[in-house]
């Protein structure tokens, strides 16, 4: 959204010109900009455009800073000049590292303010007073540590890496987030915070190329002549003679501080808690970065000072508490500068922004409110719109008369429902098409699709601005797009095999040979049995995956077959027996499983076929009411939400019954998708059942649906134990009579006495929480009505049915704006730790969940916490309480009456309390992975950093499964990790009841990965048969290539073993030329020119593609011949083939032979022969320009 053409109207107004002229006077005093709040962003953008000087706008609350920044970008002539300097996650004196994205944004802002970004407009920076108080590196030091690198510059790679270490960058094998760098020989990757990742390739010590690259794909995107790498932290390591008294610390804090002090004294490199010591290392604040001609703008100066004082009091109280608790040592330098001191020392010109009725203010008044009454709004806009052609903005302050007496000549409507308003205005005779950018000469009425907080009117400027706030009575909140990695790429990554994570000793499954243990990557001469002397002295080496089988047998799997090896996931905790090679047991086990999955696939296909054959209800396209409801959603939809909503509506508008699984983390917008589907069903006369696992969640959904649908004639009810028997009877009668449109309920909703008159849609929230009997009832419903299942952590059955393709699946993976990953700690239970966690949250005005998985003893725990933290208001909530008591407790906690809720897993699903941002889970080892993930999702639902403490008993020996669960939840810190958690949950607890107990033995026999491949194959074939389609074989059998070449990825070329293993898997999974070319380009881009051995690997992969298409079984070598073996020799003209290859060919029983000759000339001859063979469905010949390259380097 761009609104900058309106700036010129204010620029010509006398009171604004007077302010601009005063500020242009050298040494100007503090100036006042008097304006109402809704017009301030407009005025600030106009001031920035008129003066073209750096500006720093300081506001009170952090949330206000974000809103200001968003609105300034809409108004600014150059949106890129508007920058936000966000506050840090951690309070001062809090030993927590910064969120990487926030750190990158802050550093990018400092870079622009330090004047290091060339050819850019002067910055307009917005910061809360809290952010402006942080101590950072001084501007001169920041500039000196900003290193410019250019093509042709002489700079040894080791020196470059040393520079980045000194700037606070951390070495990493993969550079995919800010602050990391890697070195692979002469190729170095670095990701500057606030910038784009760079790939620098050197020729000796000379910089040959500088390229940008995509951190998601690791592929280069653009060549540069020069680039800059600045500091990776807001303060930099330097040798300090810091001495702190650690004797006052509690024992568990001593080691961390002692380690930090050693590093600080050395001053050689950064570490994660570096910003904690900004009091020693930082000497400046954000205000010091303002240029001499810059403006310091204070929005409501008194409020800024008040917020600063409150913040300082809070921080110093926290510091005192931490000292008393022995968590920080005395003598820590203050990590911020008091605001009054910053304000006093600032030498730049100030502008104070507030509304003062006693002085001449800018000519704005509040716009009238219509509160959703569209007819009056539309009529007044239309009445004030003379039928004249487009007219430019007037430059005078005189108002022309209008039917409303406002005198506006231009009405601007900024709305998320611009398209709908355009249609409605068209009915009033007003032609206004929605646009993203306002025209330079706006017409009488302009519709802009976008988002502003509030509008205003100005008779003097001849303008009226309306937003959704005035028209509908609400304003959407902005959400961010996913950063760096696209949601689709993340979802695809979740579906990938676990092979790249294999560790020595892990259980694996080879498709053809069975269950084994992984023994690593082994290099061996061509023609030799690995581990033995070669029988043939052929040149070249190959690399193999070593697998250990029963009775000491080993299998060496060629890297060309790496995709045939997968991680073993069983059906439970029991470890499987390793397969005996050559015994036939694996062939028998696979055959048995094939028969089983054939039956299961048939059962699944019956369900699929029944649904496909049934004539479900076909809903009409969206109505105006549907558009109105969707426009009232108080957030800007994420791209994932838009796609999921489209998927659901498409399903509903088709004649086939919907059965869609919607996977999305808590707070990512699943309920809104369900609500829109429900409203669509109701508008077509159908009833909706929303099934949830807990009474508390039912109440919350009920409140949400009733609030969102309140403006429409839709009756929403709730059926749960929060309702009396009499109320339940009345609701059941209403459902049967059809007087209730939407009913939200627990399992009570699927009991036999509940009948719907015309049920059209069932929404199931967290299906895995329901019992077997309820699931059977749901299974019946799936044959009759549309079903939408919502889940944050999908259970394995639903997950893999989605992956196999029997169920449709949509994934929400975009986090709301400013939402941060939950910081997770796994530790032994300790009263001091619990006390510290609760006090830290209360200190910042938040609330705490303390979860215990048993009702027994929960009051004892609550009393213990009351003794530990007497100042905390503590309540208890669990499922065995009386309904009204539980409801009052939960509502009281939601309204902030309590600081700590000691509860069972009743909070696991659905509770939405943004102010609760610390979770403590007692005996966390007793919870399942999905449960832990759901529980952690209860916190972190706002812009504040959230913390989760997963505690287990002291000195307890945890089982391997429990350790793995806690480790996984600890590592899955990124937002949107639910899909990956479900995949990992399979590995940890096995796939036991995945498809019912009858299948457990079969899963254990071959492993879950192979089991689902076999099932997918059967389902795919049956679906093809059902749909009347032809199918190629599900799995192509690749030929064996045993030729005298070094064909592998050298460890010195790709140092990281997991990365090499993943590349091998991708080579072996390649099945066409386009994939191979893309993979080669990526490797050359990331690691440099392919060494000979890697080029040979490319050659063999391309040869394998052609050989497979031509029915070749194997290519082998002797001392003097190459032999091409076939399953059945195709009909071909051997003489013609020999002439083409330039070598005599001998024809044998199902084979062709030719002389190797000297050197590597045989490579081209072999390729020519294989590529010329008749191919039923093989790939096209390798591109002519690529093969000579390989030959030349062979």
10-residue stretch averages of pLDDT, the chain, 1194 residues long: 92 92 89 94 96 96 91 94 90 76 90 85 96 96 92 93 90 86 91 90 93 88 92 87 86 87 82 86 95 94 94 88 87 94 92 89 92 85 54 32 49 88 87 87 88 93 92 64 37 40 81 90 70 52 88 88 79 76 88 83 72 80 86 78 94 89 81 95 95 84 89 91 88 95 90 89 80 64 80 57 65 67 79 84 86 88 93 90 80 88 75 84 78 75 78 66 57 50 49 49 74 75 69 63 87 83 85 89 89 92 88 88 86 87 88 87 90 61 41 38
What is the SS3 assignment for 631? Answer: helix
Q: How far apart are CA 490 and CA 493, in angstroms?
A: 5
Q: Are 97 and 234 in contact (CB under 8 A)?
A: no
Distance CA(1171)–CA(948), nearest Å, equals 59
Which two tokens mark 881? 């309480």
Q: Give the pLDDT of residue 235.
A: 92
Cβ atoms of residues 215 and 229 within 8 Å? no
What is the rounded CA–CA span in Å between residue 97 and residue 108?
Answer: 18
Burial (CB count <10 Å: 0-12, 13-18, 19+), residue 926: middle
CB 229: neighbour CB atoms within 10 A? 23
- How far apart (Å, rounded) are the C-alpha atoms in residues 756 and 737? 8
pLDDT at 595: 86
Long-range contacts from 495-501, C-beta under 8 angstroms, 24+ separation: 495/803, 495/983, 497/566, 497/567, 497/1009, 497/1065, 498/566, 498/567, 498/983, 498/987, 499/562, 499/565, 499/566, 499/567, 499/1061, 499/1062, 499/1065, 500/1058, 500/1059, 500/1061, 500/1062, 500/1065, 501/567, 501/1058
How far CA 665 is from CA of 110, 692, 977, in Å, comes to: 34, 16, 7
User: Rounded CA gap, 288 and 138, in Å?
Assistant: 8
- pLDDT for 998 equals 53
The pLDDT, as a whole number, for residue 715 is 96
Q: What is the DSSP letter of 850?
A: E
Measured distance CA(635)–CA(693) in Å, rounded: 26
Q: What is the DSSP letter of 982?
A: H
How many CB atoms neighbour CB 342 within 10 A?
Answer: 20
Global pTM value = 0.71
User: What is the separation, in whole angstroms, between the first and last Cα of the chain?
Assistant: 56
Q: Are 135 and 280 in contact (CB under 8 A)?
A: no
Given a contact cutoff of 8 angstroms between Cβ atoms, the answer to whether 345 and 290 are in contact is: no
Q: Which residues pair with 84 in a beta bridge?
A: 126
Residue 1185: burial class (beta carbons within 10 Å; 0-12, 13-18, 19+): exposed
Backbone angles phi, psi at 502, to 5 degrees: -60, 135
> Domains plus CATH for the chain?
4-141+273-354 (3.40.50.300), 147-229 (3.30.2060.10), 365-471 (3.40.50), 494-605+998-1027 (2.40.10.170), 627-812 (3.40.50.300), 823-974 (3.40.50.300), 1040-1193 (3.90.1150.50)
Q: Where does 669-807 show beta strands of DSSP type E?
A: 687-691, 716-719, 742-745, 759-765, 786-791
**Nearest residue to 719 via CA among 741, 702, 707:** 702
Q: Is 228 exposed, middle or buried (0-12, 13-18, 19+ CB in 10 A)?
A: middle
User: Which 3 state secondary structure label does DSSP give 53?
Assistant: coil
């Amino acid at each position: 959204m761009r609104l900058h053409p309106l700036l010129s109207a204010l620029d010509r107004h006398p009171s604004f010109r007077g302010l601009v002229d005063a500020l242009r006077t050298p040494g100007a005093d503090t100036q006042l900009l008097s304006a109402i709040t809704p017009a301030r962003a407009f005025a600030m953008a106009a001031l920035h455009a008129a003066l073209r000087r750096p500006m720093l706008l300081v506001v009170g609350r952090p949330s206000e800073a974000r809103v200001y920044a968003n609105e300034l970008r809409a108004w600014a002539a150059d949106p890129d000049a508007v920058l936000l300097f966000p506050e840090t996650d951690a309070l001062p004196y809090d030993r927590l590292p910064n969120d990487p994205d926030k750190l990158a944004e802050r550093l990018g802002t400092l870079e622009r303010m330090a004047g290091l970004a060339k050819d850019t407009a002067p910055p307009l920076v917005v910061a809360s007073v809290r952010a402006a108080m942080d101590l950072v590196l001084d501007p001169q030091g920041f500039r000196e540590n900003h290193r410019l690198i250019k093509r042709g510059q002489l700079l040894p790679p080791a020196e470059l890496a040393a520079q980045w270490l000194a700037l606070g960058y951390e070495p990493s094998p993969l550079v995919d987030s800010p602050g990391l760098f890697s070195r692979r020989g002469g190729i170095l990757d670095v990701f500057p915070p606030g910038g784009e990742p760079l790939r620098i390739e050197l020729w000796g010590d000379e910089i040959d190329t500088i390229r940008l690259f995509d951190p998601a794909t690791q592929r280069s995107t653009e060549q540069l002549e020069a680039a800059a790498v600045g500091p990776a932290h807001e303060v930099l390591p330097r040798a300090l003679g810091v001495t702190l008294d650690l004797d006052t610390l509690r024992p568990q804090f001593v080691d961390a501080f002692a380690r930090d002090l050693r590093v600080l004294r050395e001053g050689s490199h950064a570490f994660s808690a570096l910003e904690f010591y900004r009091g020693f290392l930082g000497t400046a604040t954000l205000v010091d970065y303002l240029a001499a001609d810059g403006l310091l703008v204070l929005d409501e100066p008194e409020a800024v000072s008040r917020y600063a004082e409150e913040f300082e009091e809070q921080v110093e109280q926290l510091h005192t508490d931490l000292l008393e608790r022995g968590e920080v040592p005395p003598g820590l330098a203050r990590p911020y500068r008091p605001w009054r001191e910053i304000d006093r020392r600032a030498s730049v010109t100030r502008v104070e922004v507030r509304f003062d009725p006693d002085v001449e203010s800018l000519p704005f008044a509040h716009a009238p409110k219509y509160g959703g009454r569209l007819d009056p709004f539309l009529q007044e806009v239309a009445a004030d719109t003379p039928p004249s052609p487009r007219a430019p903005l007037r430059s005078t302050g005189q108002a022309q008369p209008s039917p409303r007496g406002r005198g506006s000549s231009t009405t601007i409507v900024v709305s998320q429902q611009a398209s709908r308003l355009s249609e409605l205005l068209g009915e009033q005779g007003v032609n206004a098409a929605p646009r993203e950018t306002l025209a330079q000469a706006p017409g009488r009425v302009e519709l802009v699709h976008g988002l502003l907080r509030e509008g205003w009117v100005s008779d003097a400027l001849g303008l009226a601005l309306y937003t959704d706030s005035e028209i509908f009575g609400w304003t959407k909140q902005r959400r961010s797009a996913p950063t760096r990695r696209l949601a689709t790429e993340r979802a695809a990554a979740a579906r990938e095999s676990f092979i790249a994570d294999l560790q020595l000793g892990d259980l694996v499954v080879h498709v053809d040979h069975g269950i084994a243990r992984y023994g690593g990557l082994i290099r061996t001469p061509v023609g030799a049995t690995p581990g033995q002397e070669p029988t043939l002295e052929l040149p070249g080496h190959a690399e193999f995956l070593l697998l250990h089988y029963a009775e000491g047998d080993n299998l060496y799997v060629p890297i060309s077959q790496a995709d045939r090896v997968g991680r073993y996931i069983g059906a439970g905790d029991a470890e499987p027996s390793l397969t005996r090679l050559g015994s036939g047991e694996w062939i028998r086990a696979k055959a048995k499983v094939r028969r089983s999955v054939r039956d299961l696939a048939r059962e699944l296909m019956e369900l699929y076929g029944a649904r496909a054959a049934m004539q479900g209800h076909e809903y009409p396209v969206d109505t105006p009411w549907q558009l109105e409801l969707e426009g009232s959603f108080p957030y800007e939809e994420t791209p994932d939400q838009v796609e999921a909503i489209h998927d659901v509506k498409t399903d509903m508008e088709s004649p086939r019954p919907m059965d869609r699984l919607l996977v999305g983390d808590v707070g990512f917008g699943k309920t809104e998708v369900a609500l829109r589907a429900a409203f669509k069903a109701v508008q077509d006369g159908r009833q909706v059942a929303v099934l949830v696992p807990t009474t508390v969640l039912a109440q919350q959904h009920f409140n949400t649906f009733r609030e969102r649908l309140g403006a429409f004639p839709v009756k929403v009810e709730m059926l749960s134990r929060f309702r009396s028997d009499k109320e339940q009877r009345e609701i059941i009668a209403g459902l049967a009579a059809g007087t209730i449109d939407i009913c939200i309920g627990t399992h009570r909703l699927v009991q036999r006495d509940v009948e719907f008159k015309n049920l059209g849609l069932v929404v199931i929230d967290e299906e895995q929480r329901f019992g077997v009997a309820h699931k059977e009832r749901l299974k019946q419903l799936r044959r009759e009505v549309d079903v939408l299942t919502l889940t944050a952590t999908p259970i394995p059955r639903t997950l893999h049915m989605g992956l196999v393709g029997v169920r449709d699946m949509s994934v929400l993976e975009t986090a709301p704006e400013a939402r941060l990953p939950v910081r997770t700690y796994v530790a032994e239970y300790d009263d001091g730790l619990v006390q510290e966690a609760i006090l830290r949250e209360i200190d910042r005005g938040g609330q705490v969940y303390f979860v215990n998985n048993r009702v027994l003893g929960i009051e004892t725990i609550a009393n213990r916490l009351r003794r530990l933290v007497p100042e905390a208001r503590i309540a208890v909530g669990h499922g065995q309480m009386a309904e009204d008591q539980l409801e009052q407790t939960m509502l009281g906690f939601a309204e902030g009456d309590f600081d700590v809720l000691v509860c069972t897993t009743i909070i696991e699903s659905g509770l939405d309390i943004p102010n609760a941002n610390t979770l403590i889970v007692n005996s966390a080892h007793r919870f399942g992975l999905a449960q832990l993930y759901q529980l952690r999702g209860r916190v972190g639902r706002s812009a504040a950093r959230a913390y989760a403490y997963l505690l287990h008993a002291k000195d307890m020996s945890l089982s391997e499964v429990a350790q793995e669960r806690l480790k996984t939840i600890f590592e899955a810190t990124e937002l949107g990790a639910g899909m990956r958690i479900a995949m990992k949950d399979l590995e940890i607890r096995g796939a036991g009841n995945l498809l019912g107990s009858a299948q457990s033995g079969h899963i254990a026999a071959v492993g879950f990965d192979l089991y689902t491949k076999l099932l997918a194959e059967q389902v795919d074939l049956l679906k093809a048969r059902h749909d009347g389609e032809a199918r190629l074989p599900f799995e192509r059998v690749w030929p064996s290539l045993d030729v005298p070449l070094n064909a592998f990825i050298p460890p010195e070329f790709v140092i990281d073993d997991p990365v090499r293993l993943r590349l091998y898997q991708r080579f072996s999974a390649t099945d066409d030329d386009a994939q191979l070319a893309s993979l080669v380009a990526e490797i050359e881009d990331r690691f440099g020119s392919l060494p000979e051995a890697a080029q040979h690997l490319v050659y063999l992969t391309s040869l394998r593609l052609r050989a497979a298409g031509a029915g070749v079984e194997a290519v082998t070598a002797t001392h003097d011949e190459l032999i091409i073996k076939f399953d059945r020799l195709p009909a071909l003209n051997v003489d013609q083939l020999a002439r083409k290859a330039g070598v005599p060919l001998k024809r044998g029983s199902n084979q062709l032979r030719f002389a190797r000759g000297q050197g590597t000339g045989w490579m081209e001859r072999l390729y020519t022969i294989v590529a010329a063979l008749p191919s039923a469905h093989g790939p096209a010949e390798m591109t002519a320009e690529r093969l000579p390259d390989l030959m030349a380097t062979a």
